Amino acid sequence: MTTEVDYYELLQVERTADDATIKSSYRKLAMKYHPDKNAGCKESEAKFKAISEAYDCLKDPQKRAAYDRFGHAAFQNGGGGHHGGQGDFGAFSDIFESVFGEFMGGGRGGGRQQRRGADLRYDMEISLEQAFHGHSTEITIDVSGPCETCHGSGATPGTKAKTCTTCGGHGKVRAQQGFFMVERTCPTCHGAGEVIAEPCRSCRGEGRTDKTKTLKIEIPPGVDEGTRIRLSGEGEAGARGAPAGDLYIFLHVTRHSLYERQGTTLYANAPISFTTAALGGEIRIPGLDGEEHVIKIHPGTQSGREMRHRGAGMPVLQGRGRGDLVVRLEVETPTKLTAKQRELLEEFRKTETGEECPQSSGFFAKLKAALG
């Protein structure tokens, strides 16, 4: 299981973006997250590496074509070319050939085509606490799997598929069109190179039947809205023994009652009394980590001021460290006063000189001057 973020989302461009747009967006993001400008920030370092990897793929027309069709699977098992070396291009070559093979004379190994099973999508809701700590859960899905009767072959037990006589087992046929020789998928066997004379009754020759299965999902700490988890081979089974597709889990983080999240930074609005704002003090904020974080209030704090608490935010996905907690202070005016409190405030008002609140006194002075 791997956690993958879409390359286009990383570079903040549409899937239809041209090369110039992708390059321009990459340069802006690279300047923003470059390690030289964010010394010691693990989050920026991880972000810089991720966008560099995304740009390395999307700037190459062949890699981008393969990624658009197969996603991150195009670069699994050493096929990505991100690490250099001639051996890295073997799997990528296979994918490139499957994308462009129809236009370039077919593939290797006789040209047989195995119809890989379809990829599946599953949308899952998790809480912000689960996104913080990570989460282990199980899901039940209806999906096609290999037929138990024919073990995925599609043929009645005791029989075998026969070589297609139309294409001679190659899976493709050639036809002359003017000066060109055109190669197409065989219309009889549909690229399999074989035909089944006696189809399995359980799966009607498909080699797969509908099933219900339960899967265990491990969600790592730090995931965000839209994070995609890929379960290789857990999608639809391929026809007649072909490889299965993948299952993609798309995560959706529900709204939290206290915290608002932006990347690895957590924001919280905290009301404070006007006396605390005037005289100073401290408040305690319950963190997602189970600890209470003390926020010190300086005397004369104004409503809307933000106080940053380092390292109390969300974990960095697949990295080290945590973001920050930012508390927005909102000064609350009392609405219910006792007689004693009202008396004390009246005494305070009598002693006001205007210097206690320079912004308001300055505003009214400007207003008076403007009106002559």
Cβ burial 35-73 (10 Å sphere, 16+ → b, else e): eeeeeebbbbbbbbebbbebbebbeeeebbebbeebbbb
339 token code pair: 């007689």
CA distance 119 to 192: 20
Residues forming beta bridges with residue 128, ordered by sequence position:
none
Amino acid at 142: D
Residues forming beta bridges with residue 315, ordered by sequence position:
322
Residue 352 CB coordination number (10 Å) = 10
Q: Which DSSP category does 3 fall into?
A: E
CA distance 92 to 81: 8
Was 357 annotated as part of a binding site? no
- Count CA within 13 A, CB hemisphere, residue 181: 5
Strands 162-163 and 194-195: antiparallel
Was 186 annotated as part of a binding site? yes
Was 167 annotated as part of a binding site? yes
Burial grade of 212 (CB within 10 A; 0-12, 13-18, 19 or more): exposed
- Count CA within 13 A, CB hemisphere, residue 146: 13
Was 41 annotated as part of a binding site? no
Known binding residues for Zn(2+):
147, 150, 164, 167, 186, 189, 200, 203
Known binding residues:
147, 150, 164, 167, 186, 189, 200, 203
